[in-house]
Amino acid sequence: MPIINKLSAKTVEHLKSSGKAIRKFDGGGLYIYVKPNQTKFWEFRYTRPTNKNKACIGLGSITDVSLADARSNAQEMRRLLSMELTHKYTVKKKN
């Protein structure tokens, strides 16, 4: 089982980039992205089930989306990806 919920709200609040953008991993595909101008955004990073390419979905700014909400959104994204993978597997198995 992958480790999730590595970040605390306090850690997220105090994160700062030093000259270049940084990404910190919370687990389960959820990242906090900090730009050089100190703006912070939530990202959900995943591998597309159809072509195995890496992809990223922005979940919003930390001023609009709390850590708990970002985790909830990431959990929903994982659920949707799981449904897509399950559907793809069952369709292939029938053929």
Please indicate, yes or no, if residue 95 is contained in any of the structural domains.
Answer: no
Mean pLDDT by 10 residues, the chain (95 residues): 81 92 94 96 91 92 96 92 68 54
| pLDDT at residue 48, as a whole number | 85
| pLDDT at residue 2, as a whole number | 64
Which CATH number is 45's domain given? Answer: 3.30.160.390
DSSP assignment of 59-92 equals EEETTTS-HHHHHHHHHHHHHHHHHHHHHHHHHH
| pLDDT at residue 51, as a whole number | 84
Structural domain of residue 51, as residue ranges?
9-90
Residue 83 burial by CB count (10 A; 0-12/13-18/19+): exposed, middle or buried?
Answer: exposed
Domain count across the chain: 1
| pLDDT at residue 67, as a whole number | 95
| pLDDT at residue 54, as a whole number | 94
pTM recorded for the entire structure: 0.82
